[in-house]
Each structure stands twice: as structure tokens, then as C-alpha cells.
Amino acid sequence: MSITNESWGSRVGLILAMAGNAVGLGNFLRFPVQAVQNGGGAFIFPYLICFLLMGIPLLFIEWSIGRYGGKYGNHSTPYILDSMSKKPIWKYIGVFGIFTNIAVVAYYTYIESWTFIYVFHTLAGTFTGLSQQEISTFFSDYVNFTGSDFGIPLFPVLVYILVLGINVYILSQGLSGIEKVAKIGMPLLILFGIILALKGWTMGSENASVEFPLANAWDGINFLWTPQYDSLANPKVWLAAAGQIFFTLSVGMGSIQCYASYIRENEDIALNSLAAGFTNEFVEVLLGSAIVIPIAAGFLGLDWVLENAGFGMAFQTMPYLFQQWGIFFGNFAGVCWFGLLFFAGITSSLAMGTPWMGFMKDEFGWSKNKGAISFGIMALIMGLPTVLFYQYGYFDEYDYWGGTVSLVVFALLETILFAWVFGINKGWEELNRGADIRIPNVYKWIIQFVTPVLLSLVFVAALITPEDNDWIAGLSTLSSGNGWALDHSSLIAKLLHSEFYEQLADPSSDASVIKQKIFYSNAARIQLLALFVAIIWIVWYSTKKRLKTAL
């Protein structure tokens, strides 16, 4: 095992890097869509409660676990978790903290590459004069390899490799490189976000048209910020809010633990974790909610937004809306938008490389260059199919298993480790050692009881999500003896391809296309499983190596 003395250069750099890890594409792409799909103001209340009862405790746990493992020279979750228990199983549970980062960065960098190339398309005036449908088609042609590529074969692959290469280069510079990017990227991201948010907040109904006479940006703002207390009794909204917390804070991945492992033994983690967490919330709740939805409502009307809100709006709708402000400001807004998305993406993807690099440095003495390049090669091998077979659902499989299920499972297990195996008293002492603030004692109880229960409910709910995500109807049919119909989004239904087989039963469906999707879905799962098994083997081999060294 190699003990590294690398550490963060400054507290500001650490907080910005941690905030950059949390502030990602989900803050601007996923949060507004989740809010719209779950009732706008009805979503905000459960979301904020989940942040207090699940988000903050998980930040406390992961920062504490990371710093504790770091003082023993461990900088990735297999041996960080191993240092907290005598049971060898925890070392292999820590595999999630490497696996998840590689699995997610494989497809996450592809989205990053979209934002990167869209900056240049905006500067070149590619979207000027195009209709909304033409811009939507432009994106579809790009991801399906049917156009929008300057006539260069496999152009999306080349852009993907270029962006991945930028990540690898920065990672090869170590923590200092990540810190420099965070100190530049985070302020620019916030600046770009404030510019667009102010525009969104100051729009009214002046952009209403004959086609959309009721268009009014304030309808979008009011929809998002008008509380609806009846949402507190809706399980669907609670689950959506809890799920968003995972995406927005990057908990359950292993990257926070890795970053925190480079903190000095008695350096504050309580205030630092809160500063990083609340920076993320500022970006998500105040900026993320004030851009896509209000601007879209200001031009297209709230009814259109409610019907069409989705991930693709960022690339298929926003360039068109920006052009309605005129060529100069429209292009400027486009650069701000895709620029902030790129910085949000890269500050998160850089964090995903550090667990692998930390592990290989600790266990095999690999240099920063070797660790960064090997990470890039693995990400490329895992990620190329998500680019080439995007239209067949390869990307979606990675996102579901690597970027959703894996997060919940790992977060639940590490919470149990911290509160019940390591012990809440020892954990609380670790969290408060060197703290610059006094954490309310109620959080000791929340971490031990409330957070694990909430995480368990999230996992069980994902496992058996009822049809149409209607829990009230599901419980009603179950109590009346009519069984429990699973929704296609449930983990069990996903595992069994229930949606695809239902489509195959429809005579009007294209059986060949559906069978292709099943094939590529299974291929993606096999590839993810192979990655997980390979990391388990590497951890096992490193354990043998440690034992030989000890002898």
C-alpha cells in the first residue's frame, strides 16, 4: 500500500471542488423536469424535507467516512470502508464506489460532449433561423448518426473522445488540476446561471404569439413556487424528491469519500460539507428552476411545458427559444447555457475519476498519468457503446443500473456501516472532530434511524413501483385481493424487460426493432456486470498483495 501526502491546496478550492462534484447536469436538466412532472410547487416541499433528512445526513456520513479512511492512507471506498469494520465484506461493498463512477462517467461524458459541441454550434450561428422542429431534428440526427456532423463520419464519437481526453488530461494533474478547474468553472457556471435566471425572472407575457397567446414566464415561476401541502400525502412525489437528492448531491457514488480522504485529519468537515451542499442547492433551486421552465413558458406557454417537459428540452427547445431574443443576445444566451452545462458536467466527471486513481495509487503505486490514462481507457471501452447504440437504449441501461440503482444500494449500505457497524457514537465523534460549527444533536438520531429508514423505503419503492406509479391505487387493488401490478419503471419489471415483452405482444409493433432493443439492453447489463466483477477481482488481488507485503 502506498501512502500519499497529496492534499487540497485551499479550503475554498476544496469546497468549490466538492460543490462542483455535486453541481452537475442534473441541477439544470433533471430538477426542473422532475418539478414539472410532480406538480411544481407540490414537489418543492417534499424535496426540501428530503434534503434535510436524507441529503445532509448523507453528506455528513460520506465526508466523515472519507476523512477517517484517509488518515490510514486509503483514498477509495473499498479500503475506506474496510478500515471501519473488521468484516471483509465491507471492502467488497466498497466496490460500488469505484464501479458507479466508471459506469456513470461512461455515458455522462457523452452528454458533456453535447454541451461542448453546442457551444461551438451557437457561436457559429448554426441555430439561427431554424424552426423549433428543425432544431429538434438537428439533435436527433446527431445522436442517431444521420446528420448534423459537418459531413465527418462518426463525428459524435470524435467529440466524445475529445471531451473524455480533456477529462483525462486534467485528472493527470492530480488534485491541483481539479482544484484549478473548480475555481474557474464554478464561478463561471454561477455567473452564466445568474444571467439566464435574471432573464427568466424578468420575462413576462411580452413574448406571447398568435400560436401561444397565453405564454407568460411568470406562469412557470408561479407553478414551481406555489406550495401545495396535499403533496405531503402523495408517495409518488416523495419518491421523486428523494431520488432527485441522490442525483443532485452525488451521494452514493464514492467520489465524495475520495475527495474527503485528502482532507487533513483534524480539518473541519461539518461546515465544509454544509457549504458544499448548500452551494449545490442554491444552484439547483434558485438557478436551475429559473431558467428552462420560465423561459419556455414565456414563449410557448405553461400548457406546452407541462405536456412536453423532458430531458431533451435543453438541446431540442432552448436553442430555438434563445434565438427569439435576436441574433446577438440569443447567441450570447446560448453560450451561457451550454457553457454552464459544460462546466457543470466536467466538474462532476472529474470527481468520478478520482476513486479509481486513488485506489491504483494506494494499492499498486501508479502515477497520476498512469491512473488517469487507465481511467480514460476504461471509460472509453464502457462508453463507446452508449454513443454508437444510443438509439437502442444502451445509454438508458447505464443510467438506470449504474446511475440510479447503484447509488441507492451503496448509500443505504454505507449508512448502516456508519451508524450501526462503526457505531453512531464513534461516527458522531469523527464528524465533529475539528468542526467549525456545532451540529444539532438531533442529527445524531436522524443519521441513526430516519435516514436508513428513508433509504430503505426508496429502495423498496423502486423495487416494486406500482402501475402508473399510483401507490394509492396499488394499495387499494392489493387490499381487495386483486394483486399488485408493477409499473414498467420498477426494478423488477426493468430486470424482466416487461415493457418490451408487452410491446412484442402487440401485433402492430415492429418486433425486429423491439428484439434489437432487448439484445442491446442485455449487452449493456452484461458489460456493466463484467466491470463490477473485474473491480471485485482487482480488490481481491490487492488484498492478497497487502497480505504478502505485511509478511
The pLDDT tens digits for 354-380 are 999 999 999 999 999 999 999 999 999
Q: Give the three-class secondary structure for 153.
A: coil
Residue pair 98/348 in contact by the 8 Å Cβ criterion: no
CA-based nearest residue to 433, from 75, 63, 54: 63
Low-confidence ranges of the chain (pLDDT < 50): 1-2
Q: Give the three-class secondary structure for 74.
A: coil
- Residues 6 or more apart from 415 whose CB is under 8 A from it? 57, 58, 61, 447, 451, 452, 455
- Residues 6 or more apart from 408 whose CB is under 8 A from it? 246, 252, 455, 458, 459, 462
425 vs 503: CA distance, rounded Å? 53
C-alpha cell at 284: 439547483
Phi and psi of 207, rounded to 5°?
A: -100, 10
Place of cell 453512531: 424
72 vs 400: CA distance, rounded Å? 34
Residue pair 174/361 in contact by the 8 Å Cβ criterion: no
CA-based nearest residue to 24, from 348, 312, 267, 323: 348
From residue 299, give the alpha-carbon distance in Å to each of 119, 131, 290, 331: 22, 13, 14, 17
C-alpha cell at 291: 431558467
Cα angle at 131 between 126 and 132, to 5 degrees?
Answer: 100
Residue pair 207/215 in contact by the 8 Å Cβ criterion: yes
**pLDDT for the residue 1:** 47
531 vs 535: CA distance, rounded Å? 6
542 vs 539: CA distance, rounded Å? 5
**pLDDT for the residue 146:** 92
Q: Give the three-class secondary structure for 265.
A: coil
The number of residues making up the chain comes to 551
- Domains annotated on the chain, with CATH: 16-463+497-550 (1.20.1740)
**pLDDT for the residue 5:** 61
- Residues 6 or more apart from 539 whose CB is under 8 A from it? 78, 91, 92, 94, 95
C-alpha cell at 113: 460532449
- Residues 6 or more apart from 104 whose CB is under 8 A from it? 253, 352, 398, 402, 403
- Residues 6 or more apart from 302 whose CB is under 8 A from it? 214, 216, 219, 220, 223
- In angstroms, the first-to-last Cα distance of the chain is 13
Element (H, E) at 337: helix 327-364
292 vs 456: CA distance, rounded Å? 33
Q: Give the three-class secondary structure for 311.
A: coil
111 vs 396: CA distance, rounded Å? 12
**pLDDT for the residue 2:** 45
SS (H, E, C) 81-125: HHCCCCCCHHHHHCCHHHHHHHHHHHHHHHHHHHHHHHHHHHHCC
161 vs 276: CA distance, rounded Å? 30
C-alpha 330, offset from chain centre: 28
CA-based nearest residue to 62, from 544, 412, 507: 412
